[in-house]
Amino acid sequence: MQLTDNTILITGGTSGIGRALAEALHARGNHVIIAGRRQELLDEVTAANPGMRGLAVDVQDSFALAEFAARVRDEFPKLNVLFNNAGITRTEDLTVDAADPSAWRAILETNVASVLHLTALLLPALRRQERATIITTTSGLAFVPTSRFPTYCASKAFLHSWLQSLRHQLRETSVEVLELAPPYVQTELGGKAQASDPHAMPLADYVAEVMQLLAEPNPPHGEILVQRVQGMRGAEQNGEYAKWYDRMN
């Protein structure tokens, strides 16, 4: 992906990986629009990065998402990069008798349905650009699940599969399709403690490595894989799935 002269929409740009990549891409002179629910963070991030724009949206609300996409199309006719990054995780105990469906519903709406919906809403506009990119954040857990997060892992495996079909269908268009599959990274995705967990990859290191990989043309299979996630990604192929599965569970 060319790393300059883009107009980039990043969902989940208020914190963690989305915010850090938004800032790195902004620093390269791209026009960056971040989206998320927390207005105070949209204000904080855009104030710290003059020229960056922030738009509030709850991607779980499909009506709001459609209005949001219309606004993006109107206000940013040069939009050529859609970065589907917003995501949530929840632990789930599937053995309890009256399992609460709210957790898996929220995960599927946020991590899966909103990605399919927003991509469909913006794809016609992206296709009109000379060069465009759809990049979507999955996870190493798409390849080896950890049973504490059943729907989360499945949501990312869904995206991995769906992105392959999207990439194939768009192969003869100006739109490239990338998958960003992070390892365990120091953000607050799984709670505040994750941000300083020594087992997680430091966010700044992750973003620095991703920026290098993004700059390389034609990443293998359209996947942006830092060194730390390659073991999980290749586990099945390398005959190491059982080892990784035991480790993750």
The answer to whether 9 and 119 are in contact (CB under 8 A) is: no
Q: Which x/- pattern, by CB under 6 A, does the window 109-148 give for ligand NAP? A: -x--------------------------x-x---------
18 touching ligand NAP, by CB under 6 A:
yes
The half-sphere exposure of 223 on its side-chain side, counting CA atoms within 13 A, is 21
Q: Give residues 207-236 in contact with ligand NAP (rule: CB under 6 A).
A: none
Catalytic annotation on 245? no
Q: Please, what is the minimum distance in Å from the beta carbon of residue 86 to ligand NAP?
A: 4
**Number of other residues whose CB lies within 10 A of the CB of residue 169:** 11
158 touching ligand NAP, by CB under 6 A:
no
Q: Please, what is the minimum distance in Å from the beta carbon of residue 243 to ligand NAP?
A: 20
What is the rounded distance in angstroms from the CA atom of residue 157 to the CA atom of residue 20?
Answer: 24
Q: Given candidates 6, 9, 16, 150, which one binds ligand NAP under the rule CB under 6 A?
A: 16
88 touching ligand NAP, by CB under 6 A:
yes
The answer to whether 231 and 248 are in contact (CB under 8 A) is: no
151 touching ligand NAP, by CB under 6 A:
no
What is the rounded distance in angstroms from the CA atom of residue 128 to the CA atom of residue 135?
Answer: 17
What is the rounded distance in angstroms from the CA atom of residue 173 to the CA atom of residue 128?
Answer: 10
Q: Please, what is the minimum distance in Å from the beta carbon of residue 225 to ligand NAP?
A: 12
What is the rounded distance in angstroms from the CA atom of residue 117 to the CA atom of residue 108?
Answer: 12
Q: Which x/- pattern, by CB under 6 A, does the window 24-63 give for ligand NAP? A: ------------xxx--x---------------xxxx---
The answer to whether 16 and 194 are in contact (CB under 8 A) is: no
What is the rounded distance in angstroms from the CA atom of residue 204 to the CA atom of residue 218?
Answer: 24
Q: Please, what is the minimum distance in Å from the beta carbon of residue 156 to ligand NAP?
A: 7
Please give the structure tokens belonging to residue 244. 């990784």
**φ, ψ at 24 (rounded to 5°):** -65, -40
What is the rounded distance in angstroms from the CA atom of residue 46 to the CA atom of residue 62?
Answer: 25
Q: Give residues 182-201 in contact with ligand NAP (rule: CB under 6 A).
A: 182, 184-185, 187-189
6 touching ligand NAP, by CB under 6 A:
no
Interacting residue ranges for ligand NAP, rule: CB under 6 A: 11-18, 36-38, 41, 57-60, 85-88, 110, 137, 139, 182, 184-185, 187-189
Active site residues: 152
